[in-house]
């Protein structure tokens, strides 16, 4: 077996990652889905998460030659609404505070938080391509003095203890062991700091992962956790939930529109079936570091 680049002993900035993480990084280094790039092109906020809120179904009517454009704008509006809801839960953030966007993708969420709070944001990813892309976006917006992106492993960031007012994961916790992740956040967050995640989790009351949840895992090379694991590992790591919002019903319309669009990637039916059969849930959890 070839040793993944990021695992080799090296003097480069590449983070120490497992073979599994190297395969995930490879996926994101190659990823160029129009559903992400064309949506980001709308306003320069490139997201790697899904959307919430009611769909304006009129986008499917009107001239055929501009239908795609209308659908792209509508899907992006719903993804932007999701990013705003996450930012709503970050608590009181001042312009000198520092936030961590853990699993930052192409950097859209970091730019949203900086725009809202004028704060410092560090975004981290194990994908070189994503870090380079996000860095270019921050430069383009002229916010690279406050928004910085790093090639780092979220399980072992190397950032100073107590250096962050808030940390978030927007759909990236399913790539890591939560017991290790939350121990790192308990270290990174200042006492009284805020942790927020929006995540897809499997529903303990359904049982173990359904066929559709397993299909989603295979599609993205991830390992969706049960809902219970979030609360157990937060409790084990000085993170006390303050808000739990079930966004499942709010995300279904996004998937219905995405399934009808030319941007569909093939995973849409699995999400829709999993949400509708009760095996999968889309949750926001905000917690305080005590
Ligand atoms: C969306 O990224 C998020 C993930 C791939 C992580 C898995 C999330 C779950 C809730 C299970 P994306 O925006 O790059 O995905 P896509 O290309 O499908 O839009
Ligand atoms: Mg996407």
> What does the pLDDT look like over 96-143, one tens digit per residue?
999 999 999 999 999 999 999 999 999 999 999 999 999 999 999 999
Ligand 1 atom nearest to 199, measured from its CA: 10
- The per-residue DSSP string of 128-143 comes to HHHHHHHHHHHHHHT-
Q: Is the alpha carbon torsion for 44, 29, 266, 213 positive or negative? A: negative
For the purposes of burial, counting CB atoms within 10 Å of the CB of 11, is it exposed (0-12), middle (13-18) or buried (19 or more)?
exposed
Find residue 281's DSSP bridge partners: 201
**Which residue segments constitute the domains of the chain, with CATH numbers given?**
15-289 (3.40.50.150)
Which pLDDT band holds residue 12 (cuts at 50, 70, 90)?
A: very low
Q: Which pLDDT score, from 0 to 100, does residue 7 have?
A: 43
Q: 3-state class of 286 per DSSP?
A: strand
Digit-coded pLDDT (tens) for 53-100: 999 999 999 899 999 999 999 999 999 999 999 999 999 999 999 999
Digit-coded pLDDT (tens) for 107-116: 999 999 999 9
Residue 234 near residue 289, CB atoms below 8 Å: no
CA distance 93 to 82: 19
Residue 122 near residue 99, CB atoms below 8 Å: yes
Tell me the HSE value of 20 on the side-chain side, using a 13 A CA sphere.
10
CA distance 118 to 95: 5
pTM here?
0.95
Who lines ligand 1 at CB under 6 A?
33, 35-36, 48-49, 171, 174, 200, 216, 220, 222, 224, 265, 267
Residue 281 near residue 210, CB atoms below 8 Å: no
Taking residue 23's Cβ as centre, other Cβ atoms within 10 Å add up to 12
Protein residue with least CA distance to atom 11, ligand 1: 200
Question: How many degrees, rounded to 5, is the angle at CA 105 between CA 104 and CA 107?
Answer: 65
Digit-coded pLDDT (tens) for 147-171: 999 999 999 999 999 999 999 999 9
What is the best residue among 40, 48, 173 to mutate for testing ligand 1's pocket, by most ligand atoms within 8 Å of CB? 48
């Amino acid at each position: 077996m070839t040793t993944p680049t990021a695992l080799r002993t090296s003097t480069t900035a590449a983070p120490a990652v497992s073979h599994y993480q190297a395969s995930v990084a490879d996926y994101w280094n190659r990823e160029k889905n129009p559903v992400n790039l064309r949506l980001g092109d709308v306003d320069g906020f490139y997201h790697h998460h899904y959307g919430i809120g009611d769909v304006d179904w009129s986008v499917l009517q009107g001239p055929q030659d501009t239908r795609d454009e209308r659908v792209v704008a509508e899907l992006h509006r719903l993804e932007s609404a999701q990013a705003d809801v996450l930012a709503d839960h970050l608590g009181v953030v001042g312009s000198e505070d520092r936030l961590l966007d853990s699993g930052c993708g192409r950097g859209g969420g970091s730019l949203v938080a900086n725009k809202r709070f004028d704060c410092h944001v560090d975004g981290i990813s194990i994908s070189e391509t994503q870090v380079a892309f996000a860095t270019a976006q921050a430069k383009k917006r002229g916010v690279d003095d406050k928004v910085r992106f790093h090639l780092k492993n979220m399980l072992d960031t190397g950032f100073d203890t107590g250096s962050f007012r808030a940390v978030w994961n927007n759909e990236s916790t399913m790539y890591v062991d939560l017991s290790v992740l939350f121990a790192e956040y308990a270290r990174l967050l200042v006492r009284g700091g805020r942790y927020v995640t929006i995540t897809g989790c499997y529903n303990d009351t359904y049982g173990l992962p359904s066929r559709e949840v397993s299909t989603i895992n295979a599609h993205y090379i991830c390992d969706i956790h049960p809902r219970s694991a979030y609360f157990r590992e937060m409790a084990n790591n000085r993170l006390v939930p303050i808000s739990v919002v079930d966004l499942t019903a709010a995300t279904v319309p996004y998937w219905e529109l995405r399934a009808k669009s030319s941007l569909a990637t093939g995973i849409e039916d699995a999400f829709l079936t999993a949400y509708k059969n009760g095996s999968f849930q889309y949750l926001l959890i905000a917690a305080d570091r005590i």
